[in-house]
Each structure stands twice: as structure tokens, then as C-alpha cells.
A and B are shown apart, each in its own frame.
Chain A
Amino acid sequence: MHSELPGEVSGPPPVKPIVEFHEVSKWYGNVIGINKLTINIPAGITGLLGPNGAGKSTLLQLATGQLFPSQGRVRVLGREIWNCPSLNSQIGLCPEQDAFYEWMTGWDFVYTSARLGGFRRSDASDAAKRALDAVGMTKHQGRTVRGYSKGMRQRTKLAQALVHDPKVLFLDEPLTGTDPLARRDLIDIIERLGSEGKSVLVSSHVLHEVQTLTPNIILLNRGRLVAEGQVREIRDLIDKHPHQIVLVCDQYRQLAGQVLAWDDVESVRILRGDKGVIVETRSPDAFYSRLPELSLADGLAIREVYSDDDNLEAVFKYLVNK
């Protein structure tokens, strides 16, 4: 960048972080949720990775102004987020909890979210239409939320987060509990949001999920920042540990037989009570990429996919002790 002022140092323009945490701690009584966290999250898609209890949800609740930091300062788009309702027009949150006004239809839920965002009737109607269309829920918008599948519920939650066209999106475990097809669709939607210029902070305890969305990640463990940066280097560490994936399916024995035939699968364990299998693999990317097709195969409707974070815990231990 060229400077006309004498004595001024030329260089790239300063990048304003979207979310700033400065020496932030959050305690719940004696329990520490976040511990002296200082981090600047830039524009674009950023993954927030950590095992359960790492402080991801606390971080997101602080970043969306739901919680007040016990110590330190949280700023979003350059402004303190706590008790700043006007800033809420610029941010959207897809919360982790599977909570809705169950008696509403999908349309009603998203339309009401737009109205709560301050949109007048016709604007709210247009916004709800756009948001439901963006997440592929137009076809099901007339049904009550109570009857939705997990994937539909996640999409509807995403639609309410998008309805007011926010600049920054916080997505808390958006893929949890979804089937392989819904998972792939949701990943596509989030990628598209990123390419449309929205800043997205997406939390997960599964590296693979985050990795498909962005190379840029933040690793949290026990409320502390463990690492931040490009996913590749963390990925190498994780690949040293076998990856455990749980698949829930009524025909779990047939499913076990199918996946065991794959070269990259090291072991398969049957979870009889849960009607599922635990698959151990060192090539999760290849494994995940084959799942949608497997799910579509005859009678093998995989209802749920989730990853045990034992392997992630091992990596965290490694990183912390290094």
C-alpha cells in the first residue's frame, strides 16, 4: 500500500478482527469455562475445535452476548457485545441445543425469528422465504417442527440464524446427530455462506467436519487455547491416532459387514443396544466421503453419524504436553 504521508510506514492495511477475546475468563462458580483466552478471529470461516467440555459453547455464548465475561473483554465487529442489542442485528447464532417452539411450523419459527429481529411483516415474509430456501427447507416449511427429523431441525435452526442476513454467524455443533446426507448438505450450505462473504465461526468436536469447511481452526481444551492456525499440521497429529466413528442404523450387522470390507477400516465393533457400530479408521476423510452412498444403499439408511472424541483428546494431551 502506497503512503503519501512522510514518515508513515507502508504495508498491508490492518485487518480488523471480527471477534476479539482479550484475557477473557468465565467461571461458573468454581468451574472454569474459559481461562484467560486471548484470540482474534478474522473474517471468513473459522473452525472451533475441542472435545466436550472444552469451552466451545461458553466461547460462543460469550461471543453472542448471552454471557458476561468474569474477566476480560469480548468484542464483536469492534463493539462490546454484552448488553448491546443493536449488535444482535449483525450476528446470527445456530445454538447447539435442539430447542424450538415445537408447536410452530418451520415457516412460523423462521418468520417469527425475523419479526423478533425487527422486520416488518412483508420484509419478514421475504426474509423467511429466502432463509428457508437457502437451507433447502421450503418443501417442509408447512409442517410443525415437532415432526421434523434431526437434519430438518438443524436446517431450520440454521435458517433462523440466517433470516436477518447477519454478517457474522456462530454455529454451535451444527452437524451433530445428522445423517450422512443432511451432513453433506449442511456442509455445502456453510461453505456457500462463507463464499458469500459471511464470517462463520463453527464449533465441533470432530476435526473432519471442520476440516471440510475451513483450513483455519482454533483448538480449545479445558477452557484454554491450545493451538490456532492451519488444520494440516494438526491433522498430521490426529492421523497418528485412529479415528472412531459411530454409525447408527437399524441394519447394523449388515452395515458392519459392508464397512469391514473397506481397506481403510481397522476394526468394527457392534453396539447392540444402540443399534449401531463403532468403526476405527486412520483415513477418516475417505471413510466419510463414502458414507452418503453407503447410506443410500438398499436398506442401509444410516440414521446418525457421530465421532467419539477420544482420539481428539489424545491429540490434545499430546499438544498440551509437548
Chain B
Amino acid sequence: MKQTLASASDRDSLSKEHEFASPTPGSSSLVAIWSLYVLTFRQHLHGRRWLVMAILFSLPVGLVVLIRATAPEVPPVNLEFGIAFMLIPQALLPIVALVYAAGIIRDEQEEQTLTYLLIRPIPRWAIYSVKLLATLTTTVLLTTVFTALTFVAIYVGSESSAGEVSLRCLKTIAMHDLAVVAYCCLFGLISLRTNRTLVFGIVYSIIFEGVIANMPFGIRLITVIYYCRSIAYQWMEFKWNRYGHNIDLAADAWKFDPKLMAEMTSIQTCVTILVVASLVFAVIGSLMCARREFHVKTPEGN
């Protein structure tokens, strides 16, 4: 039952004519968006997450050092293939992307700081897009630095020419960066749909990027790693000369037929597919963010 305890005139005495607001002088949406980008990047640096990631990323380097110390006869090309083209893109990059992308919005929601973003003059779609962009910056930086370190660990002291190794390293970094961007955009989108992004991400990584990607069938075309491998296979050589025989490490491990090179998806197409897929995931995520509301827990709500 509603009661009106004072007349309207009583209330009006407290009111005054409100002049409708105009945009705040000196303010700009671009400044707000840039600030959000910087804030997100700083959050990544201040959390312990980057430390965990750095340790995780140091594993390949540590592994290379260990192998070289205990089995110096292993040729660098084998080490490079096993670590930089198998371990990192198939296991490490999905984990890194998952850990960062899963928290794009959810971390702010759980720490109850999302409110401070939702009440600023920043469109909701931009909140997601900008935070995703900052996440991509962090993950690409980490991937670039640690891939380069892995190559240093593999080739330092070897007979390979510095120019050749540098070129291979740059190509590998480009491939890894493409992969981590695609993973981040995909996992970011998943994180907007479910609270169990980590579970979904791990299951996805194992089934799609682990099992399906290694099947010599067309179904592997739906995996990120297939396109990365296609790029690498057409761009670089993974030949190992053993007892006078050239062994193609990649063809065997990735189930590629060297005789069907002409029928493989071209490098340009692979890059386009990965870039377009990433963009599509990012746009869908931004649109979802623009439409949905986020429940930030309040003490009262708890």
C-alpha cells in the first residue's frame, strides 16, 4: 500500500528548474577509451597472473636448456620443431589465451569494479573491445618475448647462421601471435556466455586443438592450429638429415602430405581465415556486451 505523506507542493519547494546538461567540456570518448586500454594493461601488469604466465612461458626455455645439457646430440631443428612448433602453439598458447581472455569482463565482475566502467561515458561494446585489445597486447607481447627467448636457447652456440635463425624466429613469432590472437578472441567470446570458461577452454583445447587438429581429415579445418601449421609448413622447412635421409618432421607429425602441397590452403588464405575469424569473434563479443547487463554483486545482493 502506497502512502503519500506530503503534498506535491512540499516536494516542489525543494526542487528547482533543471537545465539539461551538455557534454562535459574537455572530455572526449577517445580519451576515455584510451584510459580504459591503459587501465586494463596496468591491471595485467599488477596482477600475479603475468608472473604465472612468465613462469609458464619459461618452461620451454628451461626444457631446451635441460635437453641441450643432457643430450647435446639432439639437433637444433628437432628441438625447434618439438618445442616451438608443437609444445608452444598446441599447449602453451591456448592456456595463456584462456587465462587472460576468460577474465576480460569476468575479473571486473568478480572484483566488483565493473561498476566503475559501466558508469563512465564509454559504450558497452567499447568496454569489451578495448579490454580485448589490451589483452591481445599483453598476450602478443608475452608470446613474442618468450618465443624469441626459446629460439635463443635453442640456437645459441650452434652452427646455424644468425640470419637464418633470426628469420625462422620472426616467422615463428608471427605464427604464434596469430594463434594467440585467435585463441584470445575465441575464449573472450566464450567467457561472455558461460561462467565455466576455463573448463570449456580446456576441453576445447584438448578435443579440437589436440585431437581433431591431428586427424588427417577435413574436420581439422575448424581448428586454429591447422592454419598455423599450414602457414609454417609452407613457409619453413623442418627437414632433419638422418643417416643421409631427409626426414620431414612436420609432414609426419602434422599428417601433411608433401605431394599435395599444391592443394594445401595457401598462406594468404590461412592468414585471412585466422584474422577474419578473430575479428568475427571480437565483433560478436562486442555486440553481446552492448546488449547484455552485468550483475555486479552488492553487499545487499549477497
B20 touches A42 (CB 8 A): no
A57 near B4 (CB under 8 angstroms)? no
Q: 1/0 per residue B1-35: CB within 8 Å of A? A: 11111100011101111101101101111011001
Chain A min CB distance to B51 (Å): 14
- Contact B299 A120, beta carbon cutoff 8 Å: no
Q: How far is the CA of A64 from the CA of B26 in the complex (A)?
A: 22
Are A119 and B11 neighbours in the complex by a CB distance under 8 Å?
Answer: no
Closest chain-B Cβ to A33's Cβ sits at a distance in Å of 9
B218 interfacial contact with A, CB 8 Å: no
Given A83-B290, A97-B297: A164 and B5 within 8 A (CB)? no
Q: Which residues of A contact B301 (CB under 8 A)?
A: 57
Q: Return the contact of A77 from the options B12, B18, B27, B117 (Cβ within 8 A).
A: B18
- Interface with B: A225-233, A239-247, A248-256, A290-298, which one? A225-233
Determine if A25 is an interface residue (Cβ-Cβ < 8 Å): no
* Contact across chains for A85 and B120 when beta carbons are under 8 A apart: yes
Question: Do the beta carbons of B10 and A229 come within 8 Å of each other?
Answer: yes
Q: Are the C-beta atoms of A101 and B4 separated by less than 8 Å? A: no
Q: Which of B121-129, B239-247, B271-279 contacts A (4 or more CB under 8 A)?
A: B121-129
Distance of A117 Cα from B301 Cα, bound (Å): 27
Q: How far is the CA of A319 from the CA of B10 in the complex (A)?
A: 21
Determine if B293 is an interface residue (Cβ-Cβ < 8 Å): yes
Contacts A42-B11, A93-B115, A112-B39 given; does A117 touch B300 at CB 8 Å: no
The one of B1, B17, B293 that contacts A15, using a Cβ cutoff of 8 Å: B17
Are A160 and B116 also in contact (CB < 8 A) when A28-B295, A119-B31 are?
Answer: yes
Interface flag for A165 (CB, 8 Å): yes
Closest to A233 in B: B5
Encoded as 1 (CB less than 8 Å from any A CB) or 0, chain B from 43 to 76 comes to: 1001000000000000000000000000000000
Which B residues touch A112, using CB under 8 A? 35, 39
Q: Which of A43, A57, A115 contacts B298 (CB 8 A)?
A: A57
User: Does the CB pair B15–A227 fall under 8 Å?
Assistant: no
- Given A15-B15, A85-B122, decide whether A225 and B2 contact each other with a Cβ distance below 8 A: yes
B118 interface residue per 8 A CB criterion: yes
Q: Shortest CB–CB separation between residue A251 and chain B, in angstroms?
A: 27
* Contacting residues, chain B, for A44 (C-beta < 8 A): 14-16
Are B293 and A164 in touch, CB under 8 angstroms? no
Contact B14 A42, beta carbon cutoff 8 Å: yes
On whether the beta carbons of A77 and B5 are closer than 8 Å, the reply is no
Chain A: minimal CB distance from B134 (Å): 14
A63-98 residues with Cβ-Cβ distance < 8 A to B are 64-68, 77-78, 83, 85-93, 95-98
- Residue of A64, A99, A164, A319 with most chain B CB atoms under a 10 A cut-off: A99
A307 at the interface (CB under 8 A from B): no
Most buried by A among B23, B119, B123, B294: B119
Chain A positions within 8 Å of B4 at CB level: 227-229
Q: Residue of B at shortest CB range from A319? A: B3
Q: How far is the CA of A115 from the CA of B297 in the complex (A)?
A: 25
A216: CB under 8 A from chain B? Answer: yes
| Residue pair A322, B17 in contact (C-beta under 8 Å) | no
**Does A210 sit within 8 A of B, measured CB to CB?**
no
Does B160 make an interface contact (CB < 8 A)? no
Please state if B116 and A116 are interface contacts (CB–CB under 8 Å). Answer: yes
Q: Report which A residues bind B (CB closer than 8 A).
A: 12-13, 15-16, 18, 28, 42-45, 52-53, 56-57, 61, 64-68, 77-78, 83, 85-93, 95-101, 103, 112-113, 115-120, 123, 160, 164-165, 167, 172-173, 176, 197, 199, 214, 216, 224-230, 233-234, 319-322
New contact pairs (15) apart from A66-B294, A172-B298, CB-CB < 8 Å: A28-B295, A56-B300, A64-B119, A68-B293, A78-B20, A85-B123, A86-B23, A115-B31, A115-B38, A118-B29, A118-B32, A119-B24, A216-B6, A228-B6, A233-B6
Residues of chain B at the chain A interface (Cβ within 8 Å): 1-6, 10-12, 14-18, 20-21, 23-24, 26-29, 31-32, 35-36, 38-39, 43, 46, 111-113, 115-124, 290, 293-301
